[in-house]
């Protein structure tokens, strides 16, 4: 595939002299296929697929098997054409730049039919997952997917502007370093002033500047008065995201003026790798503003195969869902794209810490001069663009490439290993790492994920076992072992990937499928599953603890199976995440001090089975509702070991908290509470996980009349003075497929409206596990979902994302609980 960009310039006379001009070429273009058989209008930013869809030449690319049927689009060559006029003769400008912010990387650019540029790397710097992944389709796009413009000037031009807040640990003061790069085309000295203003910090600073011909960098240093209180930026759940409005104005000779405004945030970040008592190896955790922070969150993938469809509203919806689920961190995965500016601005605003991969994933890359030059330019640009964002707390060189090389993923011949190791060090250490550390000294750089951190460095940048639990971060997946068994999981320092698959809801799938597809064994279901044996592995995990659906109605059986995959996924990730949270403060057999849990993955790129907790379009899966609980600031965690029930308390709070633990036992056959006990008040220290309660299960059940493992379930919560401090958690004493006394529940809802929020007053006839409230395709989320209902009534709120009505919700509402699938 080859993209040709033809720009036809028609000058409009001499016009008026001007110092700087920027002409946007966004908007309406024309495109045609290689042989000219297809000619149509196209929007820029955009891509060929979007243009064809908008003209109804193709259907929704995500519909059914269209990712196969529309391969011809990527295999063809396409030409974009734009005719435009300029209001002055180009000869009046000293320099003219044609700037493409985002363009297909295999392209020829022509101006008035004369080639002026070409992009054609041996290894295309493309969104890598656009060629397919185990959660996404293959849609390699062609087009101009970001802004395009002409910049012309005859004195100088401001190329880039960035700033870095720096904390002086000795003086205990904040300073601000501002860097601006100018392209000076005038042969004469350009003089002027740089004026920096941050009103809220009482800063108004003027500096005289002189710019000589060539590429010139102006560095401004702003010292903030020690007497002024500077509020720091904190991750979500740990404080405010205070920012300060700053303006920087350059007033230069001849009335030339450049003005930049930005939000400035102040925070420090440190990656701590130090010895741990009673454990070999080193810690691996982040300090923000001097405070150790447990990273709670997920992994971000591109929100759409067609990046021109990723709107501001879509980004805000997805990122708001992150903090609404008590997360504080995301890892931007290295097989996608460097996200748009608004993504990082929203993360700054919402308090979402970003682990930023560079875009290298699961592959061996070349180190020839052309490729290295391209990567050097790419990394330099991204560091300059992103370094001012407080949300980014670490750079990471790649995704899984250290592990791939050292664990033999690609069956590389032993004789070539040293060559590959040399190439790896050349690319990620001598090239990328060097550029990052030169351009940004305010945050750590990690060569890969997973990695052994300091140990990897000591071993020459590649460890024989990058999954060493005593160092760095790990990725962990196991779809065969019982996910309810906490012993399955690694007691690691930091777990940056882990997870289980599920299917999206029927209302999401329905949009891209037809009736013949609505079976778990259909061609469509097999086609959408890109993980080898993935559908069967989900059924395997379900069958360990639940009954498989057996309805004779095919559609009902399909919907029940979709529901159970989400139940399974939510329960598996809950069990695993709670294991990591309770491992925060303890060392067991030399392992522990876990300080991060980022499950794979947050969002979906299309409608298909995946590891996500948010479906394509933003609908919350059951897992996302569970995450709201298992990432709560204060959480009781229950588990068993050798017939003994243990309950831990995990705290992310900044201060010690006095509370009590209440443990209750319910029977599946009745809404009446069987028995309950509460502990004496105790204190959980800030930022710790501690053991609160132990009791043999037989002893616990002995005190609860009629209870056996199969007939009863345990719930527990933390409170003070009758006020609930934590979610109500639960522990199953047996697999639910063996539950005795579990009946089908008749659950009804009375819906009312309070302002923009809708109130669902629920009533149930029986105890019901995994109660799932669904309103189809009406966009929004509930305050809670997928819950264990042990009382006759419960009130849940629905927060719509678009205007809706009580009657619309009543028509769309459907409720499912576990026994409904029997």
Nearest Cα residue to 194 out of 248, 260, 262: 248
Strand residues in 25-105 grouped as ranges (E): 27-33, 39-44, 78-86, 95-100
| More confident call, 88 vs 593 | 593
Reply yes or no on whether the pLDDT at 123 is more than 60: no
* 214 SS3 class: strand
Reading the block at residue 351, the tokens are 């308090």
**Cα gap 764→747, rounded to integer Å:** 4
Domain(s) of CATH 2.60.120.260: residues in the chain: 2-153
Q: Which residue carries 């769309």 as its tokens? A: 812
For the segment 220-233, the average pLDDT, to the nearest whole number, is 96
| Residue spans of alpha helices (H) in 217-368 | 312-324, 341-350
Compute the distance between CA of residue 164 and CA of residue 246 in angstroms, rounded to an integer.
13
Q: What is the pLDDT of residues 129-148, one digit of tens each?
A: 999 999 999 999 999 999 99
Residues of the chain with CATH 3.20.20.80: 273-508+574-633
Q: Is 252 exposed, middle or buried (0-12, 13-18, 19+ CB in 10 A)?
A: buried
Closest residue by Cα to residue 58 from 382, 306, 270: 306
Residues 165 and 266 sit within 8 Å (Cβ to Cβ): yes
The verdict on whether omega for the bond into residue 650 sits within 30 degrees of 0, i.e. cis, is: no
Beta strands in 201-352 (DSSP E): 203-211, 214-223, 244-252, 256-264, 269-272, 275-276, 279-282, 285-288, 291-293, 295-300, 329-332
* Angstrom distance (rounded) from CA 685 to CA 373: 51
- What are the structure tokens assigned to 207, written together? 């500096």
């663009």: which residue's tokens? Answer: 385
Beta carbons within 8 Å of 195's beta carbon, 6+ residues apart: 204, 205, 206, 207, 247, 248, 249, 250, 251
CATH number of 2-153: 2.60.120.260
Select from 178, 157, 247, 138 the least CA-distant residue to 605.
138
Laid out side by side, the sheet with 269-272 consists of 269-272, 285-288, 291-293
Q: In 3D, which of 531, 410, 403 has the Cα closest to residue 479?
A: 531
- Average pLDDT estimate for 793-806: 98
**747-816: CATH, from 3.30.300.30, 2.60.40.10, 3.30.1490.20, 3.30.565.10:** 2.60.40.10
Three-state DSSP class for residue 405 = helix
Q: What is the residue whose two structure tokens read 């209870």?
A: 707
CATH number (3.40.50.2000, 3.20.20.80, 3.40.1370.10, 3.30.70.520) of 273-508+574-633 reads 3.20.20.80
pLDDT for the residue 5 = 61
C-alpha distances out from residue 242 to 94, 230, 343, Å: 43, 9, 18
- Alpha carbons 165 and 392: distance in angstroms, whole number: 13
The question of whether 179 is a catalytic residue gets the answer no
Percentage of the chain beyond pLDDT 70 is 96
Name residue, tokens 């596990």. Answer: 769
Q: Identify how many contiguous H helices and E strands the chain contains and give both numbers.
A: 17, 49
Burial 723-735 (b: 16+ CB within 10 A, else e): eebbbbbbbbbeb
Q: Which tens digit of pLDDT belongs to each residue from 294-311?
A: 999 999 999 999 999 999
pLDDT, one tens digit per residue, over 666-676 is 999 999 999 99
3-state secondary structure of 133: strand
- pLDDT class for 15, splitting at 50, 70, 90? very low
Q: Is residue 507 within a helix (H) or strand (E), and if so which, with residue range?
A: helix 506-509
Backbone φ and ψ of 570, nearest 5°: -60, -45
CA distance 471 to 488: 19
Instruction: Give the model's pLDDT for residue 120.
Output: 54
| Top-confidence residue, 724 or 1 | 724
Does 17 have pLDDT greater than 80? no
Instruction: Quick: pLDDT tens for 337-393.
Output: 999 999 999 999 999 999 999 999 999 999 999 999 999 999 999 999 999 999 999
Tracing tokens 């939000």 back to the chain, one arrives at 263
pLDDT band at 14; cut points 50, 70, 90: very low
Mean pLDDT of 727-751: 97
Q: Is 731 helix (H, G, I), strand (E, B) or coil?
A: strand
pLDDT at position 85 = 81
What end-to-end distance do the CA atoms of the chain give, in Å?
A: 52
CA–CA separation, 709 and 693 (whole Å): 19
Distances in whole angstroms, Cα of residue 788 to Cα of each of 40, 728, 731, 771: 55, 9, 11, 6
- 74-83, 231-240, 567-576, 767-776: lowest mean pLDDT where? 74-83
Report the 3 state secondary structure along 552-612: CCHHHHHHHHHHHHHHHHHHHHHHHHHHHHHCCCCEECCEECCCEEEECCCCCCCCCCECC
Strands 353-357 and 392-396: parallel
Tens-digit pLDDT profile for residues 578-588: 999 999 999 99
Instruction: Quote the pLDDT of residue 89.
Output: 65
Distances (CA, A) of 651 to 321, 621, 657, 659: 22, 26, 9, 12
Told to judge if 497 belongs to the known catalytic residues of this protein, a careful annotator would answer yes
Q: Residue 700 to residues 692, 718, 787: CA-CA distances in angstroms?
A: 15, 19, 23
Question: What is the predicted pLDDT for the residue at 121?
Answer: 46
CA atoms in the 13 A half-sphere facing the CB of 267: 29
Catalytic residue of the set 497, 576, 578, 615:
497
Domain with CATH 2.60.40.10 in the chain: 158-265, 635-738, 747-816
Look up residue 679 and give its two tokens: 């502990």
CA 310, CA 295: separation in Å to the nearest integer? 26
Alpha-carbon torsion (362, 364, 370, 372), positive or negative:
positive
CATH code assigned to 158-265: 2.60.40.10
3-state secondary structure of 369: helix
| pLDDT tens digits along 67-78 | 999 999 999 999
* 635-738 maps to CATH 3.60.110.10: no
Return mean pLDDT, the chain.
Answer: 95
Cα distance between residue 47 and residue 3, in whole Å: 11
Structural contact between residues 287 and 269, judged by C-beta atoms closer than 8 angstroms: yes
Structure token pair of residue 635: 């959480």
Place of tokens 């097989």: 335
What secondary structure does DSSP assign to 160-191, as a single string? Answer: EEEEEEEEETTTTEEEEEEEEEEEE--SS-EE
Residues 161 and 260: their CA atoms lie apart, in Å, by 8
Q: Are 402 and 423 in contact (CB under 8 A)?
A: no
The first and second tokens of residue 667, run together, are 């029977």
Bridge partners, 195 (sequence order)? 206, 249
pLDDT higher than threshold 60 for residue 11: no
CB atoms closer than 10 angstroms to residue 785: 21
DSSP 8-state assignment for residue 425: I
Long-range Cβ contacts of 776-783 (<8 Å, 24+ apart): 776/507, 776/812, 776/814, 777/507, 777/508, 777/511, 777/812, 778/802, 778/804, 778/808, 778/809, 778/812, 779/617, 779/618, 779/619, 780/804, 781/321, 781/324, 781/619, 781/620, 782/620, 782/625
User: What pLDDT digit, counting tens, does each position of 44-67 carry?
Assistant: 999 999 999 999 999 999 999 999
Between CA 336 and CA 319 the distance in angstroms is 17
Is the confidence at residue 122, as pLDDT, over 50? no
Closest by alpha carbon to 632, among 689, 594, 681, 587?
A: 689
């Amino acid at each position: 595939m080859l993209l040709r960009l033809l720009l036809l310039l028609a000058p409009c006379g001499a016009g008026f002299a001007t110092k700087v001009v920027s002409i946007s070429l966004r908007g309406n273009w024309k495109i045609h296929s290689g042989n000219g058989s297809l000619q149509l209008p196209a929007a820029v930013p955009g891509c060929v697929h979007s243009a064809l869809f908008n003209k109804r030449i193709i259907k929704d690319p995500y519909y059914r098997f269209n990712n196969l049927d529309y391969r011809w689009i990527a295999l063809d060559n396409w030409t974009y054409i734009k005719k435009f006029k300029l209001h002055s003769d180009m000869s009046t400008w000293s320099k003219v730049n044609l700037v493409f912010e985002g363009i297909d990387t295999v392209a020829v650019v022509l101006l008035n039919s004369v080639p002026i540029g070409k992009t054609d790397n041996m290894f295309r710097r493309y969104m890598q997952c656009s060629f397919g992944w185990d959660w996404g389709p293959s849609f390699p796009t062609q087009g101009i997917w970001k802004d395009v413009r002409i910049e012309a000037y005859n004195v100088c031009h401001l190329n880039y502007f960035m700033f870095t807040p720096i904390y002086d640990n000795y003086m205990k003061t904040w300073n601000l370093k501002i860097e601006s790069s100018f392209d000076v085309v005038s042969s004469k000295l350009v003089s002027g002033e740089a004026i920096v203003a941050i009103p809220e910090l009482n800063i108004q600073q003027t500096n005289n500047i002189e710019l000589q011909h060539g590429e010139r960098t102006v560095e401004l240093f702003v010292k903030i008065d020690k007497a002024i209180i500077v509020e720091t930026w904190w991750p979500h759940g740990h404080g405010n995201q205070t920012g300060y409005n700053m303006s920087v104005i350059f007033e230069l000779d001849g009335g030339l003026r450049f003005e930049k405004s930005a939000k400035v945030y102040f925070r420090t970040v440190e990656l701590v790798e130090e010895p741990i008592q009673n454990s070999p190896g080193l810690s691996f955790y982040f300090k923000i503003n001097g405070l150790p922070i447990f990273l709670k969150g997920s992994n971000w993938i591109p929100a759409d195969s067609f990046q021109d469809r990723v709107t501001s509203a879509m980004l805000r919806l997805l990122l708001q869902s992150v903090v609404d689920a008590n997360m504080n961190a995301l890892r931007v995965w290295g097989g996608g794209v460097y996200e748009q500016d608004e993504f990082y601005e929203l993360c700054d605003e919402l308090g979402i810490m970003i682990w930023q991969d560079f875009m290298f994933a699961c592959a061996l890359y070349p180190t020839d001069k052309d490729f290295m030059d391209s990567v050097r330019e790419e990394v330099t640009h991204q560091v300059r663009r992103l370094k001012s964002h407080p949300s980014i707390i670490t750079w990471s060189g790649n995704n899984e490439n250290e592990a791939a090389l050292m664990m033999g993923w690609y069956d590389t011949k032993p004789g070539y290993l040293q060559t590959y190791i040399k190439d790896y060090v050349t690319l990620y250490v001598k090239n990328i790492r060097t550029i990052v550390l030169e351009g940004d000294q305010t945050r750590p750089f990690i060569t890969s994920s997973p990695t052994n951190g300091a140990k990897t460095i000591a071993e020459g940048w590649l460890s024989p076992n990058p999954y060493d639990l005593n160092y760095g971060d790990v990725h962990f997946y196991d779809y065969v072992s019982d996910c309810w068994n906490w012993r399955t999981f690694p007691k690691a320092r930091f777990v940056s990937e882990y997870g289980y698959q599920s299917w999206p809801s029927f209302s999401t799938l329905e949009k891209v499928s037809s009736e013949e597809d609505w079976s778990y064994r259909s061609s469509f279901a097999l086609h959408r599953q890109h993980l080898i044996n993935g559908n069967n592995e989900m059924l395997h995990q379900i069958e360990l603890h639940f009954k498989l659906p057996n309805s004779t109605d095919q559609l009902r059986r399909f919907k029940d199976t979709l529901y159970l995959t989400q139940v399974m996924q939510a329960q598996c990730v809950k069990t695993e995440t709670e294991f990591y949270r309770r491992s925060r403060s303890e060392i067991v057999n030399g392992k522990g001090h876990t300080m991060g849990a980022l499950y794979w993955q947050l969002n979906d790129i299309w409608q298909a089975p995946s590891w996500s907790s948010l479906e394509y379009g933003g609908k919350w899966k059951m897992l996302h509702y569970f995450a709201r609980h298992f990432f709560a600031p204060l959480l009781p965690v229950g588990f068993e070991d050798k017939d003994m029930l243990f309950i831990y308390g995990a705290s992310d709070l900044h201060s010690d908290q006095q509370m009590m633990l209440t443990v209750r036992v319910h029977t599946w056959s009745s809404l009446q509470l069987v028995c309950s006990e509460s502990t004496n008040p105790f204190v959980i220290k800030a930022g710790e996980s501690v053991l609160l309660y132990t009791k043999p299960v037989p002893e616990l059940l002995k005190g609860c009349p009629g209870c056996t493992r199969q007939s009863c379930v345990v719930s527990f919560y933390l409170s003070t003075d009758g006020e609930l401090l934590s979610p109500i958690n639960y522990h199953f004493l047996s697999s639910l497929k063996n539950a005795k006394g579990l009946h089908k529940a008749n659950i009804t809802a009375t819906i009312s409206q309070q302002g923009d929020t809708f109130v669902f007053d629920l009533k149930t006839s029986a105890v019901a596990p995994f109660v799932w409230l669904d309103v189809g395709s009406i966009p929004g989320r509930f305050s809670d979902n997928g819950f264990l209902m042990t009382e006759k009534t419960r009130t849940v709120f629905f927060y719509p994302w678009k205007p809706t009505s009580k009657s619309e919700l009543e028509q769309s509402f459907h409720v499912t609980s576990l026994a409904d699938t029997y």
